[in-house]
Amino acid sequence: MNKKQIRNLSSIIALSLVAVLVSCNKSSENKSTDDLTATDSTNMLAKDAHSFSNPNEIAIAHMHLDLDVSFEKKVLVGSVKLTLNNKTNSEILHLDTRQLNIEKILLDNGEEAKFELGEDVEYFGRDLAIEVTEDTKAVTIYYSTNPKSEALQWLSKEQTAGKKHPYLFSQSQAILARTWIPCQDSPGVKYTYSATIKTDPGLLALMSATNGQKKDSSGVYNFEMNQPVSSYLMALTVGDLEYESLGRNCGVYAEPTMLEKCVWEFADMQSMIDSAEALYGKYAWGQYDVVVLPPSFPFGGMENPRLTFATPTIIAGDRSLVALIAHELAHSWSGNLVTNETWNDFWLNEGFTVYFEQRIMEKIFGKPYEEMQTKLGMGDLKKTIARLTKEGKAEDTHLYLELDGRNPDDGLTDIAYEKGRFFLQTIEKAVGREKFDIFLKKYFTENAFKPMNTKRFLAYLDDNLLHGDSALKASIMADSWIYGPGLPENAPQPESEELQKVETEILRFMNGEMAKELVTENWTTHHWLYFLRGLDGKLSLEQVKDLDKVFNLTHSGNNEILCDWYQQCISVEYKDAYPSIESFLTSVGRRKFLSPIYEKLAATEDGKAWAKEVFVKAKPGYHAVSYNSIESILAD
């Protein structure tokens, strides 16, 4: 065992110990909560292995944050008041914390509360156990974050587009909310929240809540989120931001130098909302805005309610990457309304969202467009299944994951997204689109603002769509999809006429045709991605050079294309592209792009040595989510 494995093992042991202690401590009953569901008369939540909290006993009902943003010290300082629902007259409130400095805790009667912080467990942080009484209606925790709190990224003014003002953003999913707010950091727990944020005059603060559209010279901003949300949807960003409306109830925030480009790119946002509503019911959150963050944002997008956070790497200048907006918008139903109860049920968030996203895209951009995306998705999925199987992790190819004791980040693969989507497509095909749409609309409406788990979804599916029809049930093979590895035999086989044309060109090029002879007129980003993926690992250095000479791919303005292309360049050590690769790795922080490029480099000794040099320069610009992953890729 290497050091890291020993560390992981000891944290698993520590966490299991904590879990045992917590469950022994439970005052109310000795009945196991494992199989309990929110529709049970008891309204019990399933046990969440990634949280120390005890929401079945005491749950947060409302949160009020009062925080000062200090760019100078790179910390948030202030308090959080938690209004409690003490269901079982419990005497201990357990909260999740990590990388926080807890100063003092007051009960609502003004007395100081006794509290204890548990051992620090890797990834999970420390259990904050607060003594309360049955009369305690609220506790106020005075605390500060630390400059390394992993949810937060503090950017210097040089790291922004405008170069004039510093910038801050948070990323709470999956279990990073606890690194900036002491809370019940479990997706099944929902509460309303309000906040007062004080920052530098000249900057605008935004949250996953009601937002202003203009800076206030006082630098003080107030927020309300009157609908219950899970902790992973808590979000804050502060920067030199401006707003432009894009329709009735949507718009975009960006740094001033970026704003016009974003407005152009997102022209379809209102019609995406309209299409989504036509499919599965009214948008529940009032306003839908997107904030375009600096390039170090570690994800493509994050569905923070009322305010999606998005990477600027989708601003391609041709609207070709806006499916990401449809995706984050779709989460306003799948995820933000009906929420995975634990991270083992992550596919309920992401699989439904990819399915929904593609339905929106099909409505707006047409069937051929959707077919291309679906076929590309199947390619990604097959690759992921092959990789996980080879690594001996076949269980991670099940839709229902077993992430207990592990970092929930391990579940963030194409399985939840693509296998999830193809499972839903399989049901759609079996029952017909019309019935499936009625079912989904009902599912989102009846389960709104509630957690959902895999077992309960299957029961709901049975009751509301399959109605005990055993032949229909057998044809869907739900158990194989959910509890079995890889792709079941009834998996769809997506076809796309557009991409068939690309296949012809792949074959011609493989058979020795020169790049300039290829027929690539009217190719969109998706044609190019299919082309590059089809050639993956099959090209010679000469062929890479030929493609670059004709299509100038090394300098493509499209980050998705660059990510695939750079991998090919590294495979054949096409050194002319390395300066561009270095500038990409030092300017973009989106993990989905960084990981495969660093992995390719790490495959050879020389490549790894170079990657390490680049990483040293790039790391100060990466968010913790990204640099932690890259560090493990480059570890010896």
Footprint of ligand BES on this chain (CB under 6 A)?
Answer: 173-174, 299-303, 324, 327-328, 331, 350, 412, 417, 592
Nearer to ligand BES, 137 or 533 (CB): 533
Among Zn ion, ligand BES, none, the one that 431 touches (CB under a kind-dependent 5 to 8 A) is none
Tell me the closest approach of the beta carbon of residue 417 to ligand BES, in angstroms: 6
Strand arrangement, sheet containing 92-97: 92-97, 126-131, 115-117
CA distance 473 to 463: 12
- The tokens of 201 are what? 């005059």
Query: Of Zn ion, ligand BES, none, which one sits near residue 592, judging by CB under 5 to 8 A according to partner kind?
Result: ligand BES
Measured over the CA atoms of residue 527, residue 528, residue 529 and residue 533, the dihedral's sign is positive
Cβ 403 to ligand BES, closest distance in Å? 12
Could you confirm whether 417 is annotated as catalytic? Answer: yes
Q: Which is nearer to ligand BES, 417 or 457 (CB)?
A: 417
Which residue in 368, 491, 367 sits closest to 423, CA to CA? 491
Question: Binding string to Zn ion for residues 343 to 362, with x set by CB under 5 A, is what?
Answer: -------x--x---------
Q: Which string of x and - marks every residue 145-174 that binds Zn ion (by CB under 5 A)?
A: ------------------------------
Residue with tokens 């005990």: 468
Could you say which of 328, 350, 370, 560 is catalytic? 328
75-86 β-sheet, strand order: 100-107, 138-145, 75-86, 58-70, 190-198, 220-230
Sign of CA pseudo-dihedral 177, 238, 251, 369: negative
Please give the sequence-ordered ranges of beta strands (E in DSSP) within 259-416, or none if there are none: 288-292, 301-302, 307-310, 338-340
Query: 534 near 503, Cβ under 8 Å?
Result: yes
* Cβ neighbours around 248 below 10 Å, total: 11
Given Zn ion, ligand BES, none, residue 301, with its beta carbon under 5 to 8 Å by kind, binds ligand BES
With CA atoms as reference, report the closest residue to 354 among 336, 375, 337, 377: 377
CB of 418 to ligand BES, least distance (A): 9
Chain residue whose CB lies nearest ligand BES: 300
Nearer to ligand BES, 327 or 527 (CB): 327
> Structure tokens of 609?
């040595």
Partner touching 250 among Zn ion, ligand BES, none, CB below 5 to 8 Å by kind: none
Pick the closer one to Zn ion by CB: 58 or 415: 415
User: From the candidates 253, 417, 530, 574, which is the catalytic residue?
Assistant: 417
Q: Are 190 and 339 in contact (CB under 8 A)?
A: yes
C-alpha pair distances (Å), 605 with each of 21, 51, 601, 609: 46, 40, 8, 6
Q: Which does 302 bind (CB under 5 to 8 A by kind): Zn ion, ligand BES, none?
A: ligand BES
Which of ligand BES, Zn ion, none does residue 174 bind (CB under 5 to 8 Å by kind)?
ligand BES
Residue closer to ligand BES, measured from CB, 350 or 548: 350
Q: How many CB atoms lie within 10 A of CB 21?
A: 11
Between 591-602 and 605-618, two packed helices, what is the crossing angle to 10 degrees?
Answer: 150
Residue among 384 and 543 whose Cβ is closer to Zn ion: 384
Between 57 and 350, whose beta carbon lies closer to Zn ion?
350
Site string for Zn ion, 429-468 (x = CB under 5 A): ----------------------------------------
Nearer Cβ to ligand BES (175/482): 175
Bond prior to 267 in cis (omega within 30° of 0) = no
Give 350 or 414: the residue with its C-beta nearer to Zn ion: 350
Site map 305..344 versus Zn ion, x via CB under 5 A: ----------------------------------------
Closest to 345 measured CA to CA, from 402, 407, 303: 402
| Residue 17: C-alpha distances to residues 3, 22, 98, 184, 406 (Å) | 21, 8, 18, 19, 14
DSSP 347-378: HHHHHHHHHHHHHHHHHHH-HHHHHHHHHHHH
Q: Which does 236 bind (CB under 5 to 8 A by kind): Zn ion, ligand BES, none?
A: none
Residues whose CB is less than 8 angstroms from the CB of residue 103 and which lie 6 or more positions away in sequence, other chains included: 142, 143, 144
Q: How far is residue 625's CA from residue 309's CA, in Å, rounded to a whole number?
A: 15
Residues at the contact surface with Zn ion, assessed by CB under 5 A: 350, 353
Task: Tell me which residues are annotated as active site.
Answer: 328, 417
